[in-house]
Chains A and B, each alone.
Chain A
């Protein structure tokens, strides 16, 4: 199961497993963003290429208006995925 929602602080909390079956939920949420936001991945356990595609698509769209996603509290395994994907060069990322 994957969940995505705003925290009171305005950050976006992602939790669970962002796999191919859950990527539509992430796309529906992130597709509505129109300004820079921080994604908190502390409770995100897993991400596959389907989730990476949504993040990249959102970052590309936001960059057209000078905005960007920042991703914080990334666990070691997800950071490895980001590193192999080159996402560490196109997102600002803070690890746990």
Chain B
């Protein structure tokens, strides 16, 4: 597993992409896995930054590759409790007039990753998700 701390800023998104892309490219992870992994990392990181901007410590991202799949752990030591595994569905059948911009991040993650876990203890938020390679994608 490789891990790296990232500054609590939206501007860290490009650096996070390079970090996780380098690991997945080196392990020859299929694009059908890489895309949702990048999406889930960005959405979860941006959520932590957006809803807890006053915290000071960096956010740790760890990426592990095995058997064509990827597992990611994101740890924030200064987090407010926010359970990302709760149902965050958006009414995607609503009309254009009814739709409101925003709120799609967790909805997408919950559709696109295979496992999603949340653990909160004493101000430490740990989010872990995984994406496996589906044989039909190869």
Spell out A's residues near B (CB within 8 Å). Answer: 1, 17, 19-21, 46, 48-50, 52-54, 56-57, 59-60, 63, 77, 80-81, 84-86, 89-90
Given contacts A20-B46, A56-B99, A56-B101, contact A85 B108 (CB under 8 A): yes
Listed from nearest, the 9 A-B pairs whose CB atoms lie closest are A86-B92, A49-B105, A53-B101, A49-B104, A77-B35, A21-B13, A57-B101, A90-B96, A56-B101
Bound: A20/B11 CA distance, A = 8
| A48 engages B35 (CB within 8 Å) | no
**Shortest Cβ distance from A52 into B: residue:** B104
Given contacts A21-B10, A21-B14, contact A60 B105 (CB under 8 A): no
| B108 engages A49 (CB within 8 Å) | yes
Which DSSP category, helix, strand, loop or mixed, fits chain B's interface? Answer: helix
| B101 engages A84 (CB within 8 Å) | no
Bound: A85/B91 CA distance, A = 9
The number of A-B residue pairs with CB atoms under 8 Å apart is: 72
Residues on B with C-beta less than 8 A from A53 are 101-102, 104
CB pairs A–B below 8 angstroms (22 shown) = A17-B17, A19-B13, A19-B14, A19-B17, A21-B13, A46-B38, A48-B46, A49-B104, A52-B101, A56-B101, A60-B97, A63-B96, A77-B35, A81-B39, A84-B112, A85-B90, A85-B104, A86-B91, A86-B93, A89-B92, A89-B93, A90-B99
